[in-house]
Amino acid sequence: MDDRKIPTVALIGRTNVGKSTLFNRMLEQPKALVSDIPGTTRDRNEGECIWRGKTINLVDTGGLDVDKKDAIERNTILQAEHAMKKADLILFVLDAKVGPLPQEHSLALTLNKSKVPVIVVANKAESAAERADVKGSHWFLHGLKAPIAVSAKRGSSVGDLLDEIFEQLERVGTPPIEIQKIEATRVAVIGKPNVGKSTLLNSMIGEERFITSPIAHTTREPNDTLVQKGDKNYIFVDTAGMRKSGKVKKSGGLEAAAVKRNEYAIKISDVTLLIVDATEPIGAQEKILAGFLKESGTGVIVIVNKWDLVKDKTTTTMNRYREYVAASLPFLEWAPVLFISALTKQRVQTIYDMIDTVQTNRNRWLTEKEMDEFLKRTIAEHRPTAGKGIFPPKILGMKQVAIAPPEFDLILKAKRTDILSQSYIRFIINRLHDTFHLNGTSVRMNIRIARSTAV
């Protein structure tokens, strides 16, 4: 990694001025969830903005005009304030169609006294009249420079805004840096609402990076953050709690959109932490998530949270619970199970070592000698069994064709692929896991017909 710090630019302002739309436009990807519902953005949302071959770190924040009537809204403001403190430059975003409101004048007074440079942005300036209006005296906010009029929705003048951001960062001595490739293990965190996903991530990272509360669906969208631990990098993705699809459909709107983003976040992750609550039984939703995880190709670690609340534990309690997880989530029988308390931080740091192990296993490439010896032992232990056919086929060989997850071709002397029973294919996959200790990764098996026997 480049030793220079990537400069951070925070987008702040009241609700519904288009901060998330502008954030997505500058990133050139729909990373932040956007809606007309006030308070859609809660946690800080970060992303890398690349402009003219150089990069900055953008931070989207929640609205600063929420009522603070509950823990979520109070924490939303705390997250925004934290982003401002860490920022090298602030984008103060206002609505060009509405004009500056009294609370924005008050915030401008505070920003003008801070040591962090501020660029005022008048968003939603779609028409010529709206762009001309921002030059009026009513837009002079307590010594801050005149706003730059943009339309995040259409992309108008966003390039001019980026030019100004980069120039100001140069002037204050925190210039954007050259594009750099950071090798990092991407880790998604999923589970039902209120199992402690955000609390766990805060414990692992060592700061209150994600909003936590006892209110269901506190997290509304996947939020990621880059963490350096020793010489290794991790991108952690906190996801919204996932309920049964029927309940999601009834709720509609934001929750349905968040679930789609969760699924995408999992598919592009290297490892997924499936969080279950030790004080509640494993239910239908965890089983649905297990099936999705198996098909996704991501590595999986089952994290049993709130283990400190389990009463009357003995030396065999963990083993009994592991058996319970294996029986409840048979799709993930290959996933390791860790027992932690996110709140007390008990055994939380051991998760990093398991992530590294799972990632190594996902990228394991077996040699031809290992494959040949494995196949001979496996067939000697258990002869192939027939599927749709009278006689079982002859297995000619097996070769690895991909990693992340490991994928293999099983070569048959046959005329059809379904002549080998599914139970025998599962047997081979299980033996691969046992023989090569492929903890935490699924294994994919393709059945191929040798060319000389194909019809």
pLDDT (0 to 100) of residue 253: 45
Which of 214, 181, 219, 180 has the alpha carbon at shortest distance from 201? 219
In the chain, the N- to C-terminal Cα span, in Å, equals 54
pLDDT (0 to 100) of residue 40: 41
pLDDT digits (tens, 9 = 90+) for 142-182: 889 999 999 999 999 999 999 999 999 999 999 998 876 66
Which of 67, 171, 78 has the alpha carbon at shortest distance from 117? 171
DSSP notation for 213-224: -SSTT---S-EE
Q: Which stretches in the chain have pLDDT values below 70?
A: 1-4, 30-44, 65-77, 180-182, 208-223, 240-259, 452-455
Q: Which residues pair with 118 in a beta bridge?
A: 90
pLDDT digits (tens, 9 = 90+) for 391-441: 889 999 999 999 999 999 999 999 889 999 999 999 999 999 999 999 999
Q: In whole angstroms, what is the distance from residue 164 CA to residue 155 CA?
A: 15
pLDDT (0 to 100) of residue 120: 95
pLDDT (0 to 100) of residue 217: 42
pLDDT (0 to 100) of residue 75: 59
pLDDT (0 to 100) of residue 399: 96
pLDDT (0 to 100) of residue 251: 45
The tokens for 421 are: 């029973």
pLDDT (0 to 100) of residue 452: 65
- By the 8 A CB rule, do 445 and 426 touch? no
pLDDT (0 to 100) of residue 36: 44
Question: Would 185-362 and 368-453 be classified into the same CATH topology?
Answer: no
pLDDT (0 to 100) of residue 15: 86
pLDDT (0 to 100) of residue 112: 84
Ordered by start, the domain boundaries in the chain are 8-178, 185-362, 368-453
Q: Tell how strand 45-51 and strand 54-60 pair up.
A: antiparallel
User: What is the value of pTM for the model shown?
Assistant: 0.71
Q: In whole angstroms, what is the distance from residue 30 CA to residue 53 CA?
A: 21
The tokens for 319 are: 């083993």
**Percent share of the chain, pLDDT over 90:** 57
Tracing tokens 């401008």 back to the chain, one arrives at: 108
Burial (CB count <10 Å: 0-12, 13-18, 19+), residue 455: exposed
User: Which region, left, alpha or beta, applies to residue 194 given φ > 0 means left and ψ of -120 to 50 means alpha?
Assistant: left
Q: In whole angstroms, what is the distance from residue 261 CA to residue 257 CA?
A: 6
- By the 8 A CB rule, do 78 and 191 touch? no
Q: What is the CATH number of domain 368-453?
A: 3.30.300.20
Taking the alpha carbons of 279, 282, 283, 289 in that order, is the dihedral positive or negative?
Answer: positive
Q: In whole angstroms, what is the distance from residue 141 CA to residue 130 CA?
A: 17
Burial (CB count <10 Å: 0-12, 13-18, 19+), residue 180: exposed
**DSSP 8-state class, residue 427:** H
Q: To which CATH superfamily is domain 8-178 assigned?
A: P-loop containing nucleotide triphosphate hydrolases (3.40.50.300)
- Top-tier CATH class for 185-362: alpha beta
pLDDT (0 to 100) of residue 130: 93
CB under 8 Å to 290, separation ≥6 — which residues?
274, 329, 330, 331, 332
